[in-house]
Structure 1
Amino acid sequence: MSSFVQALGWTLLHFLWQGLLIGCATALAWAALRNARPEARYAVGCGALLACLAWPAAGLYLRLAGGDATGAMFSSPLLPAALLAPVDLPNLDLALRAVVGVWALCAAMLALRMALGMLWIERSSRNTAAMHAPWQARLSGLAQDAGVTRPVRLRVLGGIASPFTAGIWRPMVLVPAALISGMPPHLLDALLAHELAHIRRHDYLLNLLQNAIEALLFFHPAVWWISRGVRLEREHIADDFAARQLGEPRRLALALSELERLQFSTHHLAQAANGGDLMSRIKRLLRPAPQTLNWKAAVPLLALAGACLGIYGQAVAADSAPVLERNAIIDFGVCSKPHYPSASLQAKETGTVILSYDVDATGKVQGSSVIKSSGHPALDEAARSGMAKCTFKPALAAGKPVSASVRLQYVWSLD
């Protein structure tokens, strides 16, 4: 298989534990900042998403660059080499190809979904029939008051569920036609002020990057959990900005309550005024109060932290193991051939068994196991017990004999 596919496959597999570590660290940081400003929590979440992208990207680059570069980066105390190096398991080529193939197919489908959404937004922006002169003038005045210097377009559409922003250089607010006729103007002003906060902060561009990370790392629950938290904090920031512009948080809370009453569904093309948990946002605007730490919710977090520490501890232990100059070698001169079981001989059973032996510094076997069966348990046990009686030349590290594990293959043949 190609080196790129192999490197990408291992990168995806290793992101399973890497994403777990990032998610656990993010949860701890958010718990510590539970009463901080949403900007601080938002920065933590964005940093976590970037780490989710940067860590596997760096690992892929170093795997393609070669073992020396890999060891140079991942042999530090913080990033043990054992957590990066591929595990030496047989017949993994097909599995890695399957992992990369499924990942590429799913990522391509999510990317296509993003592209279709952007195409739909572009077509909507050219829909002159969706212009609404009175509300366009009203939006322009709100934009000037909010400090948005770029012209902001307004489109009123009948096929959308809630207001949302789109566009980077030429921003646009898309508003459902039902809101124009069914919501009081002063409440719709509050929702537009919320959308202008997204435009002022360039949230549409950040949301596109966030969607790209979700498409690439869709297989990890931690990515979706962090991403959901980022979106919620983004809405809190926009709520605070709109409340300051309006001078009355209660008006925005009433607008969100009216939006919930109309039972609009969440739209995912961009951040809309109904993003996040509406009820929690309404409560936060009306009765802001310090949040207490929910210890019941912290139990899974502590379990994840324990799992991460266990993974890290095993990696450190693996890195601290001595570098072998020579692995254990069986001494065939004093090793008798395993006895062929009579029942297996009569049934003409044959096969190859792969065994693992733990050999101490004196060359004696301290433990053994079957790694891959021959297909016949009697042959497996005969090979395991027979070769366990053999004497080994112990492994060497720094010129001294050390304990080590060694794999052996034994072929049962009637020839």
Structure 2
Amino acid sequence: MNALESWTLGYLLNSIWQVPMIFAAGWIAARILRQSGPRMEHRVWVIAMMVEVFLPACRIRPSDLIHEVLRMVLRGSGAVHDEVRVAIGAGISSGVEMLRVPKSVLAAAVLGYGCSLLYFAGRLGWRLWSTWLMEREAERMVLASGPMTRWNRWGSVFGCEQAEVAVSGMIFGPVTVGIRNSVMIVPPGFLEKITDEDLDAVMAHEFAHIQRRDFAKNLAYGLLSLPVAYHPLLWLTRSRVAESREMVCDAMAAKAVAGSESYARSLLRLASLLVNNEPDRTLHAIGIFDANSFERRVMTLSEERADVRGVRRFVMTAVCGVAGLVMCASALALRVEVSGPAMTSTAQGTNSARLTIPILKNDAVYKRPPVYPVEAKATKNTLNGPVVLAVTIDENGVPTDVHMKKSLRADYDESALTAVKEWRWNPYLLNGNPVAVDTTVTVNYLLGK
């Protein structure tokens, strides 16, 4: 079985059930932290989206991580003495479930997942191309004296003096595009239809997007989320990111203009002006009506919000953080590893089979502990680090071939080889029959102070 195929299918299977867990945790955290303002809620959803992408790829064992942290703490306090730690396998817990699938099923699943990646990547590229084409064909315009004065004022307030304004018939409302050079694009005749108060609201909102670099962030989110772009709850997470992003910009704009109530009235007037138009199809253009959450945005601006600060905010954030860590640890502990039926006949032509696996599910029944080299300790000529051995175990659980995979030094290598050659395992069973297996043993040498 191809290792890449196994990893890909493992990522796919784990993302199917881990993404809902992460979304549920993000939703709960966002509800708890909602009183802290839209900025905190937005951070929660961005973190949730990143975890949805990267957690299915993680193979870290929570127990190993805790052990390593404790070892470092004890070592720093001078409480660690000479120690030899042994890990069997390629860093995967013996408690991890190993799902074995036929080659045909594995290949079909990987092919389907690859096609979905190509589809979503192509759609992303097409929409990015459409956005770039719109920005390229948009006609730069020179504002009249009144709007220009407002443009310069808001550009100075938000620190975005280099931004430009253009007009395009490809959009229905104001949008902002650009990574290095930002451009606010408006429909033809839009600026002539709105009042000065509404123009202030539009400019403040778009400059808030420019200051936050939301166009570049949205592009990065689209690229990073491609591995789980097939998952409906990833779509919902992305929509929550967009919704909370718009509320953050609303809060920034409302603070800059005449206040929340005045800004909310401007949003309602602008919505009634643009209600009969078709929504734009550009994925990355960020606009004042970008998210499908207009009602909640207006209600949020009208609400009396309690100011959550100090200890209360710290406690709420800490509770959400701990809950998130527990959820991630649970997902890692329950992750599924995928392996295919990679049996081959032995060289002797017998009916026995040899199987290469990441780790033995049945641990060794006898393990002679490797001894820290005595001469190395006596002469202070010590090293800290791992010796990795490749081990072939026959159908009776006896190591028939132990050789060096990663050397540390001759005396350390000899200590590890001598010990592991005397180990014994429970036979590994495949469909009820004992088989020979290949695995690895890692011996970590550590001499404390």
1:59 positional shift: 5.6
Q: How far did 1:167 drift?
A: 1.3
What residue number does 1:143 align with? 155
Structure 1 residues 280 and 312 mapped into 2: Cα distance closer, same or farther (>3 Å)?
same
Q: Using a 3 Å threshold, how does the CA distance of structure 1 residues 216 and 265 change in structure 2: closer, same or farther?
A: farther
Distance 1:241 1:401 in 2: 65
SS at match of 1:155: strand
Whole-Å separation in 2 of the counterparts to 1:110 and 1:103: 11
Taking the aligned partners of 1:69 and 1:324, their CA distance within structure 2 comes to 8
1:274, distance to aligned residue in structure 2 (A): 1.1
* In structure 1, distance between residues paired with 2:424 and 2:290: 61
Once the 2 structures are TM-superposed, how far is the Cα of residue 313 of structure 1 from its aligned partner? 8.2
- The offset of 1:197, in angstroms, is 0.7
| Deviation per residue, 1:76-97 (Å, 9 max, x gap) | 9xxx633xx5x11224233234
Alpha-carbon separation, structure 2, partners of 1:50 and 1:175: 32
Aligned residues of 1:256 and 1:274 also touching (Cα < 8 A): no
SS in 2 for 1:165: strand
- The answer to whether the 8 Å contact 1:53/1:213 transfers is yes
Q: What CA distance in whole angstroms lies between the structure 2 residues aligned with 1:69 and 1:176?
A: 64
Task: Give the conservation status (yes or no) of the 8 Å contact 1:266–1:275.
Answer: no
- Taking a change above 3 Å as real, the CA distance of residues 12 and 59 of structure 1, as seen in their structure-2 partners, is farther
Give the equivalent residue in structure 2 for 1:13. Answer: 13
Candidates 199, 206, 210, aligned match of 2:210: 199
1:271 is aligned to 2:286: yes
> How do 1:36-115 and structure 2 match up within 5 A?
36-58=36-58, 71-72=90-91, 75=93, 81-82=96-97, 85=98, 87-91=99-103, 92-115=105-128
CA distance in 2, matches of 1:50, 1:153: 32
CA gap of 1:400–1:104, structure 2 versus 1, over 3 A, is closer
Q: 1:272-311: per-residue Cα shift (whole Å, max 9, x none)?
A: 1013311221122123357xxxxxxxxxxxxxxxx99998
User: How big is the shift at 1:108?
Assistant: 2.8
4+ runs deviating over 6 angstroms: 307-316, 397-402
Q: Give the conservation status (yes or no) of the 8 Å contact 1:11–1:59.
A: no
Structure in which a larger fraction of residues adopt helix: 1
Matches within 5 A, 1:221-240: 221-240=232-251
Give the structure 1 partner of residue 298 of structure 2: 282
The answer to whether the Cα contact below 8 Å between 1:139 and 1:152 also exists between their aligned partners in 2 is no
CA pair 220-199 structure 1, distance change in 2 beyond 3 A: same
Q: Distance in 2 between matches of 1:69 and 1:182?
A: 72
Corresponding residue number in structure 2 for 1:323: 362
For residues 190-224 of structure 1, the C-alpha deviation after alignment (integer angstroms, 9 at most, x for no partner) is 11101111111111111111222344422112211
Partner SS state of residue 35, structure 1: helix
Instruction: Give the AA of the match of 1:279.
Output: E
Distance in 1 of aligned mates of 2:425 and 2:232: 47
Q: Which has the higher strand share?
A: 2
Does 2:255 correspond to 1:244?
yes
Alpha-carbon distance, 1:31 to partner: 2.2
- Paired with 1:192 and 1:311, the residues of 2 have a C-alpha distance of 44
The Cα shift of 1:137 comes to 4.5
SS at match of 2:185: strand
TM superposition shift of 1:37: 1.4
The more displaced of 250-259 and 48-57 is 48-57
Give, as a single letter, the amino acid of the residue that structure 1 aligns with 2:130: G
8 A Cα contact 2:364 2:426, kept in partner: no
Does the 8 A contact of 2:117 with 2:226 survive in 1?
Answer: no
> Which residue of 117, 125, 130 maps to 1:117?
130
Tell me which amino acid in the other structure corresponds to 1:274.
F
CA distance in 1, matches of 2:361, 2:170: 66
Instruction: Tell whether the 8 Å contact from 2:39 to 2:248 is kept in structure 1 after alignment.
Output: yes
Structure 1 pair 75/200, CA: closer, same or farther in 2 (3 Å)? same
8 Å CA contact retained: 2:167, 2:187: yes
| Counterpart Cα distance in 2 of 1:192 and 1:27 | 31
Matched, 1:162 2:173: yes
User: After superposition, where does 1:321-400 map in structure 2 within 5 Å?
Assistant: 323=362
- Quick one: distance in 1 between partners of 2:21 and 2:257? 41
CA contact (8 A) 2:246 2:290 kept: yes
Aligned pairs (5 A) from 1:247-258: 247-258=258-269
1:209 aligns with 2:220: yes
Amino acid at match of 1:323: N
Assess, with a 3 A threshold, how the Cα gap between structure 1 residues 170 and 69 changes in structure 2: closer, same or farther: farther
Deviation at 1:120, TM superposition (A): 1.7
Compare relative contact order (CA 8 Å, sep 6+) and give the higher one, 1 or 2. 2
| Percent of residue pairs bearing the same amino acid type | 22
TM-score under structure 1 length normalisation: 0.62
Aligned to 2:388: none
Corresponding residue to 1:182 among 193, 213, 237: 193
8 A contact 2:39–2:244 mirrored in 1:
yes
SS at match of 1:33: helix
Distance 2:88 2:26 in 1: 28
- Gap change, CA 1:239 and 1:405, over 3 Å in 2: same
Structure 1 residue runs without a partner (length 5+): 61-67, 291-306, 327-396, 409-415
- Shift of residue 156 of structure 1? 2.0
Question: Whole-Å Cα distance in 2 between the matches of residues 150 and 311 of structure 1?
Answer: 46
Asked if the contact 2:151/2:203 (under 8 Å) is kept, the reply is: yes
Q: TM-score, normalised by structure 2?
A: 0.58
